[in-house]
Amino acid sequence: MKKKFGGLARRMSTQFVAFSCGNYFPFLRWVDVVTGLMGSLKESFNEFDSFLERVIEEHKKAAESNDQDHEQADKDFVDILLRLQKDGMLDVELTQENIKAILVSRIEVIDIDQMDYFKCVIKETLRLHPPAVLIPRATSKNSVKLGGYDIPPNTNVHINAWAIQRDPKLWDRPEEFIPERFENNPVDFRGQEFHLIPFGGGRRGCPGSTFGLFAIEYMLSNLLYWFDWKLPENGANVEDMDMTEAFAIAVHKKIPLTVDHAICVTELGEDVEEMVEEIRDCFENGGDEVGLGEMFTMSNHIGSKRALG
């Protein structure tokens, strides 16, 4: 099953980046039909739909067989949805199509905008570990006096962003990871507050900072949404983790972080009613806006054990 899913994900991720005349020139949409692009996309979507059907059917058969191993195992999200469908615990009908839509839903931009603490975590991470430790700049055509030093015109200087963002004169307990310091704090990455400059500042700040930050938020939020992460079961713990940095074009961990992951599962228990309310709100307030996301494009890049730099 996993092998089939991986092959399908790789094929679809390749198809999504293929050149489509219809995307740029709608009147030439017929070209995509002639080249076979539309046909291959429809075939892949149908195959993916069949894959979801097979996943649901396998869970149904396991539940109906009263298999003791299945009963003792952790119930994943598919089992929960099927139980809700069978018991009629929702005020709205939970159809097979609804279940498939929920299975491939993902974190969207509108969701990230509401994750205030998540954004604080990213800010604190970039404060402690800026991607560029030293930011090269050149002085103006006029000599300046700064900090008691005379700096000639057109001098190449390097701004130590790492030191600034750990300066005890600017930050309380600067060596500690405290995301809460950014709660109700207007400081951002725009470069106007020059004690937080992971992307530089002023008119020469990184032009790709907005896109880079969005990529971090989108990727990390979906990884946390879809997987349970933990350190390998070899005695490793968070306190002993080596955070030594290696310097290149962008800073990264000297020793790659190796973690185990598993698809997020939820055990049926006392929190079922709370879960039911969340799903009910999803259908009653979101309606058919439950999106069919491309979760598989992410899964294509994740192995059974992943080393994250």
Q: Are residues 185 and 220 in the same domain?
A: yes
What is the mean pLDDT for each group of 10 consecutive residues in the chain (309 residues)?
Answer: 70 76 83 89 85 79 63 60 68 67 70 89 92 84 85 87 93 93 83 82 84 88 79 74 78 79 47 50 42 30 31
Report pLDDT for 281: 54
243-248, long-range: CB < 8 A, 24+ apart: 243/129, 245/129, 245/133, 247/133
Say yes or no: 50 and 12 in one domain: yes
d(CA 104, CA 9): 13
Please report how many Cα atoms fall inside a 13 Å half-sphere around the Cα of residue 167, on the Cβ side.
12
Same domain, yes or no: 138 and 204: yes
Residue 246 lies in a domain: no
Does residue 99 share a domain with residue 28? Answer: yes
Domain co-membership, 93 together with 137: no
The predicted structure's pLDDT at residue 256: 81
Q: Is 109 helix (H, G, I), strand (E, B) or coil?
A: helix
Interaxial angle between packed helices 96-103 and 77-87, expressed in degrees from 0 to 180 and rounded to the nearest 10: 160
Tell me the residue ranges of DSSP E strands in the chain: 134-138, 144-146, 149-151, 156-160, 227-230, 245-246, 252-253, 257-263, 305-308
Q: Are 137 and 223 part of one and the same domain? A: yes
Same domain, 199 and 90: no
Shared domain for 148 and 200, answered yes or no, is: yes
Distance, CA of 292 to CA of 197 (rounded, Å): 37
pTM of the model: 0.55
- Residue 36 maps to a domain: yes
DSSP class of residue 53 equals: H
Residue 241 within a domain: no
Task: Supply the pLDDT for residue 173.
Answer: 94
User: Could you say which of 210, 230, 250 is where a domain stops?
Assistant: 230
| Residue 176 amino acid letter | E
What contacts 85, CB < 8 A, 6 or more positions away?
Answer: 94, 95, 99
Residue 229 amino acid letter: W
Q: Which of 282, 161, 293 has the alpha carbon at shortest distance from 221?
A: 293
- Decide if 132 is inside a domain: yes
Same-domain check for residues 203 and 176:
yes
Pair (97, 6) in one structural domain: yes
The answer as to whether 239 is a domain residue is no
Q: Residue 117: inside a domain, yes or no?
A: yes
Q: Are residues 28 and 96 in the same domain?
A: yes
Quick one: 127 and 225 in the same domain?
Answer: yes
The answer to whether residue 160 sits within a structural domain is: yes
Number of structural domains the chain divides into:
2
Give 269's DSSP letter.
Answer: S
Q: How many Å apart are CA 137 and CA 268, to the nearest integer? A: 57
pLDDT score at 125 = 92
Binding residues: 206
Domain of residue 159: give its range: 111-230
Which of helix, strand or coil describes residue 215?
helix
The H or E element containing residue 29 is: helix 29-35
Task: List binding-site positions for heme.
Answer: 206
* Type of residue found at 105: S
Enter the tokens of residue 212: 């880079």
In a domain, 168, yes or no: yes
